[in-house]
Amino acid sequence: MSGLTVALDAMGGDFGPQVTVPASVQALLQFPELKVVLFGDLSAITSQLSLLNQTNHPRIQIVHCDNVIANDTRPSQALRRSQGSSMRAALDAVSDGTADACVSAGNTGALMALSRYILKQLPGVDRPALVSAIPTLGSKRTWLLDLGANVSCDADTLFQFAVMGAVLAEQGTPNPTVALLNIGEEHIKGNDQVRRCAEMLADLDDINYVGFLEGDQIYTGKADVIVCDGFVGNVSLKTSEGVANLFIASLKKAIAEHPVKRLVAKWLFRDLFETVNQLKPDQYNGASLLGLRGIVVKSHGSADITAFTNAIGEAVNEVKRQIPTKISDRLEEVLLERHY
Amino acid sequence: MSGLTVALDAMGGDFGPQVTVPASVQALLQFPELKVVLFGDLSAITSQLSLLNQTNHPRIQIVHCDNVIANDTRPSQALRRSQGSSMRAALDAVSDGTADACVSAGNTGALMALSRYILKQLPGVDRPALVSAIPTLGSKRTWLLDLGANVSCDADTLFQFAVMGAVLAEQGTPNPTVALLNIGEEHIKGNDQVRRCAEMLADLDDINYVGFLEGDQIYTGKADVIVCDGFVGNVSLKTSEGVANLFIASLKKAIAEHPVKRLVAKWLFRDLFETVNQLKPDQYNGASLLGLRGIVVKSHGSADITAFTNAIGEAVNEVKRQIPTKISDRLEEVLLERHY
């Protein structure tokens, strides 16, 4: 591939250019074919670049933007007041073909609303989904979607999510298994949407549908793709974070009360914290907005340099694998298969 | 209180009388006012009692039942074929006033269906909810409902759950805080049901409603009662179990590879396993079916003697506190408050 350009919302996230600029430099080291366009405040960006002695990096371009979309801006407000903002400008670059993908650590709702408005959905996609890879037993990873972009979904929408998730999972796993998250494994369990989507998927040769999965099996690696509506997915992901935090707090407390345990704590905590951090997958990997006519990766607002670099890496991988085209092709195939 | 009788489905759960009989004996030690009626196979029960030298315990009565409702029996089948089963007989005892509460570790769907059929809902309750106490930071406990009895709930049902949960939480906490589980804290977040229920609760003086809570705050103790539909609650609770299992597996793996870590593992694992077991709250406490004209406690199918004893204890507490009457009174109050 001859060159690959990622548009970065340099101002997004809790730390703005302090994280996005060093992460860009790191990503450029990892991907020799990558070019980066930084959208945001020129002086803030250049001062970060000069700290890194990278003011004249041949693969970095800066586009000054006057505005930033704040974290508490509502999606509807973001749509009206996005002109001149770094997020909007980065998405416009994808829309006009100047960039191949956009990465932002900014306001999720605003990013979703602007992405839909500027890039539009792919044909066959009713609603884009937010997806992320979560760690599982046996060092596999499982794609979980939707993570909160769509609070309620009908069977058709869940079906589209399943197809989109399968395409994304094929990056690493041939013929990935796809499951629906439910409150029991028997076919009578769950709500109408989930049961009807299960029937639709079971009828399909093109998707390796393996049935229902319960919450306690999300992290077992039993499926490569797990599909649910955004309310359930968001609660499940955030519950995981909460449990990890409770676990760490309980362990710290138990250890703090015991001097010898305290001595070995740091030594043991290395492993513990690694596991816990993996339970914050959007922070770790970035989450993708799937189903748009363009690649958009959402990094966690509190992402550090490594996490934001990972998010850029996810965008690069999706560009290389032409995920939107593949989703579009696959949806056309399965819709044909369903109708004939 | 002069005497308090709990009807036990002695055959329910993975271990039947091997667990339910010793747990009964243990509960009788804890509660001097308690009488227990064991419903199930006479010879299986008496052989367990004779192992414990308790064949003539003055506060144990046995009622022989020929049948057991299997774990894979559907609720609709359970309704048709329940005659002569230990679960049905135990619920009948509550219905006819012979017993004050029923405890079963059997098939959840069957227990819910039979409870609704035999005991009926309290006035003002559209659907009973499954509720359990989960551990939180600071050694508090939070009541989470619904845990899977109702896959989808409208605003009125969620509202009733909030009131029922508040009554239960008042056992341990005066003026308990009540929150709705949502995918954001702002009032615009979530689905219609949750937003509408929030408006209903905010209007009410009688319930200490504190707003929306996200999944990562379930275990922080920020609310004494957390309300959601059964799909979300079930996924959240089971996700917690899954994370705990992943966590333990990761830690075991990290420790197994290191001889010195292996040496301190057992010593440290005592604390770890305690925390993990608390994350399986239904195994730990038993879950209550709330909103019925009678007290029904569901113990986890794989409950051990301690866990089943805890479930009996929960039933005893609910009898002492006359939870169904209190729920009924409170619902009447809040409905009056809403209409005038």
Task: Name, in order, each residue with C-beta under 8 angstroms of A302's C-beta and a sequence gap of 6 or more.
Answer: A13, A14, A15, A283
pLDDT at A212 over 70: yes
Of B152, B246, B255, the CB nearest to A219: B246
Q: How far is B110 from chain A (nearest CA, A)?
A: 13
Partner-chain contact A271 B250, CB within 8 Å: yes
Residue B261 neighbours by CB under 8 Å, 6+ apart? A267, A268, B254, B255
User: A1 in contact with B at a CB cutoff of 8 Å?
Assistant: no
For residue A312, give how far its alpha carbon lies from the nearest alpha carbon of chain B (Å).
26
ipTM score for this prediction = 0.87
Give residue A1's pLDDT: 41
Q: Cβ separation of B183 and A244 shorter than 8 Å?
A: no
| Contact status, residue B106 vs residue B71, Cβ threshold 8 Å | yes
A76 touches chain B (CB under 8 A): no
Q: Kindly tell me the burial class for residue B247, based on how many C-beta atoms sit within 10 Å of its own C-beta (0-12, 13-18, 19 or more).
A: buried
Give strand pairing partners of B126: none
CA-CA distance, A117 to A133, in Å (whole number)? 26
**Phi, psi angles (nearest 5°) of residue A332:** -60, -45
Window 166-205 of B, Cβ < 8 Å to A: 181, 183, 188, 190-191
Distance CA B226, CA B211 (A): 10
Query: Contacts of residue B249 in chain A, CB cutoff 8 Å?
Result: 137
| Lookup: tokens for A273 | 């914290």
Report chain A residues whose CB lies below 8 A from the CB of B219. 242-243, 245-246
A 277-336 → B contacts, CB under 8 A:
279
Q: What DSSP designation does A52 have?
A: T
Contact assessment for residue B158 and residue B165, using Cβ atoms and an 8 Å cutoff: no
> What percent of chain A lies above the pLDDT cut of 70?
89
Spatial CA neighbour of B104 closest among B94, B244, B96: B94
Chain A contact set for B236 (CB, 8 A): 215, 235-236, 239
A–B interface: beta-carbon pairs under 8 A: 159
Query: To which H or E segment does residue B213 belong?
Result: strand B208-213
* Cβ of residue A126 closer than 8 Å to a chain B Cβ: no
User: Chain A contact for B153, CB < 8 A?
Assistant: no
Interface of A with B in 3-62 (CB under 8 A): none
Instruction: Please report, for residues A247, A311, B265, the alpha-carbon distance to residue A254 in angstroms, rounded to integers and kept in the order given.
Output: 11, 35, 14
Average pLDDT over chain A, rounded to whole? 90
Q: Which two tokens stand for residue A270?
A: 């290395």
Flag if A245 and B218 touch (Cβ within 8 Å).
Answer: no
Contact A228 B237 (CB under 8 A): no
Please answer yes or no on whether B254 and A271 come within 8 Å at the CB atom: yes
B215 and A242 within 8 Å at the Cβ level: the answer is yes
Euclidean distance between CA atoms B316 and B26, whole angstroms = 13
Of B152, B272, B275, the CB nearest to A191: B152
Residue of B nearest to A191 (CA): B151
Give the pLDDT confidence of A280-323 residue by residue, as tens digits.
655 666 899 999 999 999 998 888 999 999 999 999 999 999 99
Token pair, residue A251, equals: 């362990």
CA distance B334 to A75: 35
Residue in chain A closest to B189 (alpha carbons) equals A151
Q: Residue B247: list chain A partners with CB under 8 A.
A: 243-244, 247, 275-276, 279
> pLDDT by residue (tens digit) across B146-160?
998 888 899 999 999
Q: Report CA A52 to chain centroid distance, whole Å.
A: 28
Segment A113-137 shows an average pLDDT of 92
For residue A272, the chain B residues in CB contact (below 8 A) are 251
Distances (CA, A) of B94 to A290, B59, B103, B111: 53, 17, 10, 13
Q: Do B239 and A241 touch (CB under 8 A)?
A: no
DSSP 8-state symbol, B301: T
Token look-up 């010593």 returns B267
The beta-carbon neighbor of B250 closest among A230, A241, A275 is A275
Tell me which residue in A188, A228, A243 faces B74 most closely, judged by beta carbons. Answer: A188
The mean pLDDT values, 10 residues at a time, for chain B of 340 residues are 86 95 97 97 97 95 96 89 95 97 94 95 93 84 92 94 95 93 85 94 92 94 96 94 82 70 65 65 77 95 91 94 92 78
Query: What six digits make up the tokens of B160?
Result: 């009733």
Query: Which residue segments constitute the domains of chain B, with CATH numbers given?
Result: 1-125+291-321 (3.40.718.10), 127-281 (3.40.718.10)
pLDDT at B338: 73
Candidates B319, B340, B245, B246; CA nearest to B283 is B245
CB contact under 8 Å between A275 and B246, yes or no, is yes
d(CA A321, CA A316): 9
Q: What is the mean pLDDT of residues A181-199?
A: 89
Q: How far is CA A97 from CA A93, A105, B143, B324, in A?
A: 6, 21, 52, 64
Nearest-by-Cβ selection for A216 from B230, B241, B251: B241
**Cβ–Cβ gap A243/B240 under 8 Å:** yes
Which residue in chain A is spatially nearest to B180 when comparing CA positions?
Answer: A235
The partner residues of B62 in beta bridges, in order of sequence, read B38
CA distance A103 to chain B (A): 22
Residue in chain A lying closest to B74 (CA)? A188
Considering only A132-136, A175-179, B76-80, B266-270, which range has the smallest mean pLDDT?
A: B266-270
* pLDDT attached to residue B272: 63
- Give mean pLDDT, residues A170-182: 93
Put simply, the answer to whether A241 touches B215 (Cβ < 8 Å) is yes
Which of B188, B219, B236 is opposite residue A236, by nearest beta carbon? B236
List of chain B residues whose C-beta atoms are within 8 Å of the C-beta of residue A283: none
Determine whether the interchain pair B236/A235 forms a contact, defined as Cβ–Cβ distance below 8 Å: yes
> Are A219 and B245 in contact (CB < 8 Å)?
yes
Segment A93-105 mean pLDDT: 97
Tens digit of each residue's pLDDT (9 = 90 or more) over A227-262? 999 999 999 999 998 888 887 777 777 666 677 666
Residue pair B99/B7 in contact (Cβ under 8 Å)? The answer is yes
How many residues does the structure list for chain A? 340
Write out pLDDT tens, residues A21-59: 999 999 999 999 999 999 999 999 999 999 999 999 999
CB-based contact, A74 to chain B, within 8 Å: yes
